[in-house]
Chains A and B, each alone.
Chain A
Amino acid sequence: MEEFFQQLTNGLAVGGIYALIALGYTMVYGVLKLINFAHGDLFTIGAFLGLTLLTTLGLSDHLGALAGVIALALMVMILVGLIGFLLERTAYRPLRTSPRLSAVVSALGASIFFQNAVMLIWGARPLVYPHSILPRTAVSLFGMEVPVVRIIMFATSVVLMLGLYYLTHKTKTGTAIRAAAIDQDAAKLMGIDVNRVIALVFCIGPALGGAAGVMVGLYYGQISFTMGWLYGLKAFTAAILGGIGNIPGAMLGGLLLGVIEALGAAYISIAWKDAISFLVLILILIVRPTGLLGERVANKV
């Protein structure tokens, strides 16, 4: 029983990261119906930018651990948001009226470009975040050892997700985003600047991915230029599991995927862990093709 709860917390912590990255996929898909395959690499860029800022500015020395980490995360979010904005301008906007396949190919190209750019700038060896920034203590919860950093990490994910939910559902900007997601032409007629909405989505999504990159770097220590691929794939799966285009769905999908993986590894087989998670994905898509929280959208006739 103890092992079960331990695995549950393991799964939730990883799931929180998946969910955070999945939000970027789902937001872009919701508005543009485009899978941004470069999203995983924006996550990698976040991790590397975070390390560079951390070591060059010495933030945690000036501000103390917690404030330093928050300042770091904010700076990375702004920078990665900016890269996302430029990505949309250069790689996606010129193709917006082209067949959808062109945009998907462009996204794959952007992904390969970013991955190799990171390798050329920061080198091919895995880099390591300083080990002593966050407190390395663990608290005992019901006989389990849960590292404090894990709790902080999970809490940060939840706060960022709730913030995004508030933005999209309670503010005027959010209403504009949702309107553009439903029908861009109608939104234009209602006086919404759709280009601005899309640019905004391409800032927020990558910013969250960048924040996830910093969190992964701070917690796991090791970052490498290829890490975006596997995380991107898992987050993409999480977005589909929850219903792509649906923001609470991405959160649910991410957490669920983390937990399925952890429990699959614990009770079935470690080597079959990924096979099990993807089997669950296939089963859910067969039973509920729109994902867990996705709604069936009526086709316009």
Chain B
Amino acid sequence: MKKLIHALVLALVLSVMMAGVSVADTIKIGVQAPLTGKYASEGQDMKNIVDILAEKLNAAGGVNGKKVQIVAEDDAFDPKTAALAAQRLTTGGVVAVIGTYGSSITEAAQGIYDEAGVIQVTTGSTMVRLTEKGMKYFFRTCPRDDAQGAAAAKIIQEFGSKRIAILHDNSSYSKGLAEETKALLDPSTIVFYDALTPGEQDYTAILTKVKGSDPDLLFFPGYYNEAGLLLRQKMEMKWDVPMLGGDATNNADLVKIAGPEAAKGFMFVGPPGVNDLDDPATKEFLATYQAKHKAMPASIWSVFAGDAFNVIVEAIKQTGSTDADKIADYFRTGLKDFPSLTGTISFDEKGDRAGKFYRLSKVNEKGEFILQ
């Protein structure tokens, strides 16, 4: 038995060493994404996008004469699995990591990357705290919640709402956004503030209670699945209060879940949706994506993963190196208005993407998201 274990360990060590040798002429870029679990669809879109870009890059000769190899790890939208995924990626020799979706998930992994000196460019984690920690190697291509909260509060004020109900889902993202927005609003106008449990199907009990507070606007800074169900059940209760969502409702599946009739008139604050991207190169890329996967990416968050890939490759090309310090310095000082899928990218001192994104969109009777 002991001999067998020794032999196995030896074989393992040898195979790891050989794997190291055989890929020495490639640059490994990690993708940490929820490939299984509740938000598997977001994670799979992310990986698909990065895969297409990497294929294209390799076909054109790669970067600095080396091919790029994508190493994907599943975090299952779960903090514990995320920490494991981060450990696997850092020990697997990646020079940078793209991802992930979900602020609480990113938080569980970012410390591991930072300590290991691996660049992380997150794509769908908008919680403010993530970049306020002053981590050297942490960046994001998505905007953050305080900008969104300010945008949401401004829209609510312009809407002229006097009785606002705020319903979040207790996730880091949702609660963060709800609190950012609440802090900017006149406290006397908030008639309801509470959280639902995500993942359920029946929200009629909750809607009945919210209705009891008689709001003239329901603000739900949560995810699209729950928003779709809320819209549908709200319509079936014959309650037609306007509803405003946050950027995680920016997903075409929302209309499928709610049905076009219930989704009509739903508004959300967010970066532009996939269909609003009008840059010709982006359109061409999305057409390639659609041809390959028979559908568009469902949300803008996965497209931010493409941005992350592009800026990482650009940094490696410009610095001529895969050294994390050089890349981080280049991101902060060298990269200015780099054209990518969702527009031009620059990073500020904290690692946040510079520029303003948030706009109001509204769902029309055909179920399309229309920028206002």
Query: A10-18, A52-60, A248-256, A281-289: which one contacts chain B?
Result: A10-18
A266 in contact with B237 (CB, 8 Å): no
A6–B206 alpha-carbon span in the complex (Å): 11
Query: A62-70, A92-100, A160-168, A222-230: which one contacts chain B?
Result: A222-230
Tell me whether B225 is interfacial, beta carbon within 8 Å: yes
Query: Among the listed B41, B167, B206, B228, which residue makes an inter-chain contact with A222, where contact means beta carbons less than 8 Å apart?
Result: B228
A270 in contact with B259 (CB, 8 Å): no
The residue on A at minimum CB distance from B238 is A145
Which residues of chain A are within 8 angstroms of B44 by Cβ–Cβ distance?
124
Tell me whether A269 is interfacial, beta carbon within 8 Å: yes
Which residues of chain B are within 8 angstroms of A14 by Cβ–Cβ distance?
202, 205
Tell me whether B232 is interfacial, beta carbon within 8 Å: yes
Query: B93-101, B192-200, B275-283: which one contacts chain A?
Result: B192-200
B259 in contact with A125 (CB, 8 Å): no
A207–B223 alpha-carbon span in the complex (Å): 32
Inter-chain contact count A-B, CB under 8 Å? 93
Tell me whether A111 is interfacial, beta carbon within 8 Å: no
Query: Among the listed A6, A116, A126, which residue makes an inter-chain contact with B208, where contact means beta carbons less than 8 Å apart?
Result: A6
A237–B229 alpha-carbon span in the complex (Å): 24
B41 in contact with A125 (CB, 8 Å): yes
B253 in contact with A126 (CB, 8 Å): yes
Interface SS, B side: helix
Query: B3-11, B32-40, B102-110: which one contacts chain A?
Result: B32-40
Query: Among the listed B167, B237, B256, B261, which residue makes an inter-chain contact with A145, where contact means beta carbons less than 8 Å apart?
Result: B237
The residue on B at minimum CB distance from A124 is B40
A7–B202 alpha-carbon span in the complex (Å): 12
Tell me whether A131 is interfacial, beta carbon within 8 Å: yes
A7–B197 alpha-carbon span in the complex (Å): 17
Tell me whether B298 is interfacial, beta carbon within 8 Å: yes
Query: Among the listed A3, A136, A216, A270, which residue makes an inter-chain contact with B206, where contact means beta carbons less than 8 Å apart?
Result: A270
Tell me whether B257 is interfacial, beta carbon within 8 Å: yes
A125 in contact with B253 (CB, 8 Å): yes
> In chain A, residues 13-27, which have Cβ atoms closer than 8 Å to a Cβ of chain B?
13-14
Which residues of chain A are within 8 angstroms of B259 by Cβ–Cβ distance?
131, 221
Interface residues on B, range: 35 or more
Which residues of chain A are within 8 angstroms of B40 by Cβ–Cβ distance?
119, 124, 225
A3 in contact with B194 (CB, 8 Å): no
A124–B229 alpha-carbon span in the complex (Å): 18
B298 in contact with A125 (CB, 8 Å): yes
Query: Among the listed A10, A123, A136, A229, which residue makes an inter-chain contact with B205, where contact means beta carbons less than 8 Å apart?
Result: A10
A126–B229 alpha-carbon span in the complex (Å): 12
Which residues of chain A are within 8 angstroms of B37 by Cβ–Cβ distance?
226
Tell me whether B170 is interfacial, beta carbon within 8 Å: yes
A266–B196 alpha-carbon span in the complex (Å): 12
Query: Among the listed A7, A227, A271, which residue makes an inter-chain contact with B195, where contact means beta carbons less than 8 Å apart?
Result: A271
A274 in contact with B197 (CB, 8 Å): yes
The residue on B at minimum CB distance from A127 is B256
Tell me whether B204 is interfacial, beta carbon within 8 Å: yes
B106 to chain A minimum Cβ distance, whole angstroms, is 20
B205 in contact with A261 (CB, 8 Å): yes
Tell me whether A142 is interfacial, beta carbon within 8 Å: no
Tell me whether B26 is interfacial, beta carbon within 8 Å: no
A221 in contact with B257 (CB, 8 Å): yes
Can you report 22 A-B residue pairs in the complex whose CB atoms are below 8 A from each other?
A3-B209, A7-B205, A7-B208, A7-B209, A10-B202, A128-B256, A131-B259, A136-B236, A216-B201, A220-B201, A220-B232, A221-B229, A221-B259, A222-B228, A222-B229, A226-B199, A230-B199, A230-B200, A262-B205, A266-B205, A266-B208, A273-B205
- 6 closest cross-chain pairs (CB), A and B: A124-B40, A271-B195, A262-B205, A125-B41, A124-B41, A220-B201
Known: A128-B257, A221-B257, A261-B205. 14 other contacts (CB 8 A): A7-B209, A10-B205, A119-B40, A124-B36, A124-B43, A126-B41, A138-B238, A220-B229, A220-B232, A226-B37, A229-B199, A231-B201, A270-B167, A273-B205
